[in-house]
Amino acid sequence: AFGRLDILINNAAINRDAMAAKMTEEQWDAVLAVNLKGTFLCAQAALPGMRERAWGRVVNTSSIGALGNIGQANYAASKAGVLGLTRTLALEYARYGVTVNAVAPGPVMTAMLAGVPDAIKEKIVAQVPVGRIASPDEIASVHVFLASDEAAFITGQVLFVDGGASVGI
């Protein structure tokens, strides 16, 4: 009904934070189901058509959280999994004219962060060398670039868009 799919942006994510020792299996499963399995299933559905047309772009959304964060074992595992999935799919589909990359944002002013108390937000900002939280548009523009013809020779890469926060990790 909508024609073909040339560009897939995988951007769905949830969190269900808890210390690892107290995390429930349901919390673990919910986050992995949306953040990793959902990314895989969407890519799996889109890639055959892209391969057939010898052109396509998949841009997955990981996170600086893939590097680990207290109380987010499930989130870190899911976003690290997205990195491995991205690199694997890039290797599998590069010869067919399909690029697969990921954007790994740092803190972004989204609904997920909006509910965080101001004192915690201040601590988050203190860990970002540029001294602020990103806007959604700053992250979206990187997704748009990776989906463009200008990024045709970029595949299997992860762009950390985090104000320098990952540099010291």
Q: Between vectors from CA 72 to CA 41 and to CA 66, what angle results, nearest 5°?
A: 60
List the structure tokens of 120.
Answer: 């915690």
| Gap between the Cα atoms of 75 and 139, Å rounded | 19
Q: Is 75 noted as a catalytic residue in this protein?
A: yes
SS3 for 78?
A: helix
| Gap between the Cα atoms of 105 and 89, Å rounded | 20
If one counts every other C-beta atom within 10 angstroms of the C-beta of residue 156, the result is 16
Map tokens 């990314």 to a residue.
39
| Gap between the Cα atoms of 125 and 157, Å rounded | 26
Among residues 57, 74, 75, 142, which one is catalytic?
75
Q: What is the DSSP letter of 22?
A: G
| Gap between the Cα atoms of 110 and 47, Å rounded | 29
Cβ proximity of 88 and 98 under 8 Å: no
- Catalytic residue list: 75
